[in-house]
Structure 1
Amino acid sequence: MSELTAAGSTRRRVLEIGGLLAGGSFAGCTGGENDSETNDTASGRANATNRANSHAVEAAPMGTVAFEEVPRSLFVGFPQYADMAVALGHGDAVNTIYSPELAGEVMSAYTARLNGVSPNWSALSDPLADGLSKERLYELDSHVHFLDPAYVSTQQNWGASDIDEIAGNVGPWFGNFYSGTHDDPPKPYRDNYRYYSLWDLFGKVARVLREQERYRKLKSIHDGVRSTIRSNLPSKAERPTAVRVTLNADNSAFYTYHLNRPGYWLADTRPLGARDAFAEKEWSSLWGEVGYETMLEADPDVIFHLWSVSSQHDLSDVRNRITNTPAGRKLTAVRDDRLYPGGMRYQGPIMNLFQLEMTAKQLYPDQFGEWPDYASGEPYPKIPAGEQLFDRGKVARIIDGTA
């Protein structure tokens, strides 16, 4: 997508604002020799302000995306971008999000420990629930769409002309979906695609919102967490085997996900370096499916159940369903009480900080302190100050702009 196409929406908005200013001046008077001078002065001030606020951000696969001002209405596809907006002090600008109830409950569990940070996503609509709708995008009239155009091209009824139409008439696209898994993007995008880490992508979103200083402060905290983890990890031979799963609806099998592969979907497990019990498994999609007998053959020391920070995937119910099967009762992780709640794969920086800490405690209690008793859907547990991997108060102050 060219810079011209991506900037089309912001130019349209400047023209609209200019038209409103002109309309107001004519509506309130009968005209006179000073009208032209007054309008020129107002237009000059507006143009100067726009030039001061204009900026451009380069990111794959969009190329260079130009903005005349900081976006004030944010379309969000997947929750990592809403998390980023909250972290940068722009959470109120988010106007839609994928799976708002689930994402909102998970995010609220974490932000309950950040004083003054309380995003409410439950009332937002899900833009992907019934398929991505061009009409809905026009209704929302967002200043930017935090969704990868390469991903959009895979959706029903979306071609290159539709993608360009929304960028030109509403607001530019800005997202990178396939960095989540390092899966191949659609062929038309492959030559110009790049894979970013979660925090590199967060840095680009920070540039879109002109919040580079907040980003640098949060990244410093994240770097500290990663350094603490690296310096305290036991040797590879001493690390437990682990799997990340979701129990399917009829209790017959587990959806399984890797722990240490590339991509920001694993930004909370890969740094902990546990031994993936299914490391050698290759699946045709982004996850696999194994039955109870296969799970028992692998018999991991630790099982993370994805999404179980939320009440929608209540861990006590999951445990009961597993132990109601003969093979499930024999699983070492279940017998040793090492079936743990996992967070979200679609994690942004706030989720990532808490999920890194959570996973560290679940895997290595001797090094990072024990993971306490926790009920799905409750706020993230209170961790003693001496066992926290990052300072909650400092994170909250960065987000609200007082740090």
Structure 2
Amino acid sequence: MESDEPRRKGPTRREYVQLGGALAAAGLVAGCAGSADGDGSATATPTDAATPTADATAEPTATPADDGPYSVSMSPVGEVTFESPPETVFTRLTHHADMAFALGRGDDVTAMHAPDYYDALWNQFVERLPGVSLDWTGLYSSWDPDKEVVYELDSDVHLADPAWVTQLDSWDRDDVGEIAENVGPWFGNSLSDRHTEATGEWADGYEYYTLWEQFELVAEAFRERPRYEELAAVRDELLATIEAGLPPEDERPRAVMFSSADLETIYAYTLDNPGFLTAHTRPLAPRDAFDGSVSSGDTVDYETLLEADPDVILYLGGMLPTTDMAEVRSTLESHPVGGEITAVANGRVHPQGARYQGPILNLFQLEMCAKQLYPDAFGAWPTYENGPYPEIPAEEQLFDRQRVAAAIRGEVE
């Protein structure tokens, strides 16, 4: 980044659509094959911390001056020096893409995993942010990125975790070093998703961050601390509202989350395991209907679900435009075993968005889960069949959409 003057390196996003579109389908297939995550984000090997001691403390090291080089540290890459704030952003997973979006850089993303899939999903929520738009369609699908394409994208920063990238057969430590030297630095952490162990050369000293700790460091890298502070304040107020309204533990519902493409093969997920994949459910502390007998990502049958007999089912993928929640509920109700599950019988099967969430999706998903799990405390979640995130009356909203939208637009002091 040789100059502070606005410029865009290499081809623009729209100029790159033809190549990105041609490779996106292949990337999506490769990324989702064998996935048990149910939100379009496959897991190769590779879930915010249960206690403060489980996470590294985020300590931004950006210099206070507005001009000239500055440094920010994040595990696993350590200290990274920026000549100027990045303008183009390579990502793999959506927690990083959402961070760029939250900092007003949504249109500067050059690559991400399954871009059309996640563009459709994210826009279900963006619909409720006035004056904000998002378009990730046609980007290069970067689940297993081709190094030559990464060169051609010529991104200022790679919000991706090199410790995860080097788990791919096509990448090694020399490859990520080459890209950092010749294109732009790596500055991402993904193994904090479920506190997955780093492997090889990355194993020693790998640190885990909560979603918002990592977002703070990314904001420092982009010199966007005011945006971060405003959004973090919204989140703090939302968590305070949730904490004040939670009923005693013995009055909380027994819950499960699962995904299924056909409502036959069912992937179950626990709601309180460490990592940012549960950043929207762990603060709400529902009781685990499986009582610890099922690990996150396990396949279960209907008999196992009935034995667990949850009061609430959170259906991962239910917020996708292609999902009809009325049909999901009808299918479960008509199943000879599924229909006997308390959550199904009582109409408490609710949609979910994505577990690889960034700060914006986290705010919406905290609100929706609070209403789905505790309607008496936080107001009932509207009966949802499909379409954008429901319009909730202002007096029943748990966070201020206008305030979030203004932060994304950069209208902060």
TM-score range, shorter chain: 0.7 to 0.9
2:88 aligned with 1:73: yes
2:374 aligned with 1:364: yes
Aligned to 1:58: 73
Q: Output the CA distance in 2 between the equivalents of 1:62 and 1:106.
A: 30
What pairs with 1:266-281 in structure 2 (closer than 5 Å)?
266-281=278-293
Secondary structure of 1:206's aligned partner? helix
Contact 1:77/1:146 (8 A) holds in 2:
yes
> What percentage of aligned pairs have identical amino acids?
44
The number of residues matched between the two structures is 353
Opposite residue 303 of structure 2, the aligned amino acid is E
**Pair 1:61–1:74, CA change in 2 (3 A):** same
210-219 vs 116-125, greater mean Cα deviation: 116-125
Among 102, 108, 115, the alignment partner of 2:117 is 102
More contact order relative to length (CA 8 Å, sep ≥ 6): 2
Aligned to 1:93: 108
2:203 aligned with 1:193: no
Q: Provide Cα deviations, 1:94-136, integer angstroms capped at 9, x if missing partner.
A: 11111222211221111111111111112222112xx321111
Among 201, 213, 218, the alignment partner of 2:226 is 213
2:389 aligned with 1:380: yes
Q: Provide Cα deviations, 1:306-361, integer angstroms capped at 9, x if missing partner.
A: 12111234323322332342111111111100000011101111100010000000
- How many Å apart are 1:366 and its aligned residue? 0.5
Contact 2:256/2:270 (8 A) holds in 1:
yes
Contact 2:71/2:82 (8 A) holds in 1:
yes
Contact 1:309/1:343 (8 A) holds in 2:
yes
Opposite residue 177 of structure 1, the aligned amino acid is S
- How many Å apart are 1:278 and its aligned residue? 2.4
Q: Provide Cα deviations, 1:183-226, integer angstroms capped at 9, x if missing partner.
A: 21113212221110000000011011100111011101100000
Q: Output the CA distance in 2 between the equivalents of 1:282 and 1:332.
A: 19
Among 226, 232, 236, the alignment partner of 2:239 is 226
Q: Output the CA distance in 2 between the equivalents of 1:51 and 1:118.
A: 28
191-200 vs 103-112, greater mean Cα deviation: 103-112
Aligned to 1:147: 160
Secondary structure of 1:173's aligned partner? coil
- How many Å apart are 1:372 and its aligned residue? 0.6
Opposite residue 374 of structure 1, the aligned amino acid is Y
- How many Å apart are 1:254 and its aligned residue? 1.1
Q: Output the CA distance in 2 between the equivalents of 1:120 and 1:281.
A: 41
Q: Output the CA distance in 2 between the equivalents of 1:140 and 1:53.
A: 25
Q: Output the CA distance in 2 between the equivalents of 1:309 and 1:261.
A: 23
Contact 1:258/1:279 (8 A) holds in 2:
no
2:146 aligned with 1:137: no
2:326 aligned with 1:326: no
**Pair 1:254–1:54, CA change in 2 (3 A):** same
Q: Output the CA distance in 2 between the equivalents of 1:158 and 1:397.
A: 39
Among 279, 287, 302, the alignment partner of 1:292 is 302
Q: Which runs of 5+ in 2 are unaligned?
A: 8-64
Secondary structure of 1:261's aligned partner? coil
Q: Output the CA distance in 2 between the equivalents of 1:157 and 1:383.
A: 46
TM-score between the two structures when normalised by the length of structure 2? 0.82
Secondary structure of 2:256's aligned partner? strand
Q: Which runs of 5+ in 1 are unaligned?
A: 1-9, 18-49
Contact 1:218/1:398 (8 A) holds in 2:
yes
Q: Which has a greater percent of helix? A: 1
Among 341, 348, 353, the alignment partner of 2:358 is 348
Aligned to 2:10: none
Q: Output the CA distance in 2 between the equivalents of 1:288 and 1:73.
A: 38
Q: Provide Cα deviations, 1:251-286, integer angstroms capped at 9, x if missing partner.
A: 323101110111111000000000011241354xx5
- How many Å apart are 1:298 and its aligned residue? 0.5
Q: Output the CA distance in 2 between the equivalents of 1:313 and 1:384.
A: 24
TM-score between the two structures when normalised by the length of structure 1? 0.84
What pairs with 1:241-320 in structure 2 (closer than 5 Å)?
241-249=254-262, 251-281=263-293, 283=295, 287-320=297-330
| Runs of 4 or more consecutive aligned structure 1 residues displaced over 3 Å after TM superposition | none
Contact 1:87/1:399 (8 A) holds in 2:
yes
RMSD between superposed Cα atoms in Å: 1.8
Q: Output the CA distance in 2 between the equivalents of 1:123 and 1:314.
A: 25
Contact 1:246/1:305 (8 A) holds in 2:
yes
Aligned to 2:128: 113
